[in-house]
Amino acid sequence: MIENRKGDWFEPRILGFLCNWCSYAAADLAGMSRMEYPPNIRCVRVMCSGRVEPSFVLEALREGYDGVLIAGCHPPSDCHYQSGNLKARRRYYLLRKLLRELGINPDRVRLEWASASEGQRFAEIVKDFTERLRRLGPSPLKVKRVGAE
| Residues near other proteins (CB under 8 A) | 1, 13, 15, 21-22, 24-25, 27-28, 30-32, 34-37, 39, 42-48, 50-53, 56, 59-60, 63-66, 77-78, 80-84, 87, 91, 115-118, 123, 139, 142, 145
Given the complex with other proteins, which of 132 and 145 has the nearer CB atom? 145
Rounded to whole angstroms, how far apart are CA atoms 132 and 79?
A: 27
Given the complex with other proteins, which of 6 and 32 has the nearer CB atom? 32
Shortest spacing between CB 63 and other proteins, in angstroms: 3
Shortest spacing between CB 74 and other proteins, in angstroms: 10
Rounded to whole angstroms, how far apart are CA atoms 6 and 23?
A: 33
Rounded to whole angstroms, how far apart are CA atoms 127 and 130?
A: 5
CA 75 to chain centre: 18
Given the complex with other proteins, which of 4 and 77 has the nearer CB atom? 77
Shortest spacing between CB 115 and other proteins, in angstroms: 6
Given the complex with other proteins, which of 15 and 104 has the nearer CB atom? 15
Shortest spacing between CB 110 and other proteins, in angstroms: 16
